[in-house]
Amino acid sequence: MKHSYTKFYVILRTLLIMFLSSECIAQSEEESLGYLNFLKTELQKTWPNNNTVNLVFHGHSVPAGYFKTPEVNTLAAYPYLVLKKVKEKYPTAVVNTIVTAIGGEQSEQGAKRFKEESLIHRPDVLFLDYALNDRRINLKRAKIAWEKMILEALNQEAKVILLTPTPDLKESILSNNALLEHHSQQIRALAAEHGVGLVDSYAIFKKIAKTENLQLFMAQSNHINKKGHKLVADAIMVYFD
């Protein structure tokens, strides 16, 4: 009987997590339509009334542009694809993409240098992408580091957009027990709790994995290729459309 209750509890908990995650995704998709309205207005201004807009991307090797290590394909990585797309949409805007990502880094390390190396650029929008490497630390430690950076950025009046991880072929993206799935759930919850933006890369690739071979989007087991970066950039651009 005790085993039956335990099994029932596990099933109920799993269903609750899945429900809350879907609610976070739906909320994020709805809020993304207006989250950067102030910035879209600024991007449409022309000289001499326009101001420089800084997009800062903080994270690990993926936003840093690592494809098949040690190759670093900076201009094909999603931070610069976003810059290109934003400039195509807003030709009179002055926009900087600033990448403060470091390959191999996890969020605790990123949080230590966050003020001095990321916030110093006074981002209008701050993007955080650390979950791939946060598997080296536990969820609790990752949450503390993410919240520290979120609150510091919000205190500087930056808009914040969190990214769930891109795939690692060493894990099954279709498994609800995958470690990256747990980190994705936590990031979705953080976005909802703090009222910030969310780009759910993990959900995008998970949907694709149901019908396509994810290797088509990967430069190596844990780094996406140009096709994969384009998917992330397109998801980010929802905020600028």
Is the predicted pLDDT of residue 30 greater than 80, yes or no? no
Which residue ranges form the domains of the chain, and what is each CATH number? 2-237 (3.40.50.1110)
Is the predicted pLDDT of residue 201 greater than 50, yes or no? yes
pTM for the model: 0.87
126-140: per-residue pLDDT in tens?
999 999 999 999 999
Confidence of residue 66 (pLDDT cuts 50, 70, 90): very high
Confidence of residue 31 (pLDDT cuts 50, 70, 90): low
Q: What is the mean pLDDT of residues 46-52?
A: 95
Question: Around Cβ 226, how many Cβ atoms within 10 Å?
Answer: 15
Instruction: Read off the tokens for 117.
Output: 């190396």
Is the predicted pLDDT of residue 26 greater than 80, yes or no? no
Contact 182/164 with Cβ under 8 angstroms?
Answer: no
User: What is the per-residue pLDDT for 29?
Assistant: 52
Instruction: Read off the tokens for 75.
Output: 């201009």
Point out which residues pair with 127 in neighbouring strands. 57, 161
Mean pLDDT, the chain, rounded, equals 90
Point out which residues pair with 199 in neighbouring strands. 163
Confidence of residue 5 (pLDDT cuts 50, 70, 90): very low
* High-pLDDT (> 90) share of the chain, %: 86
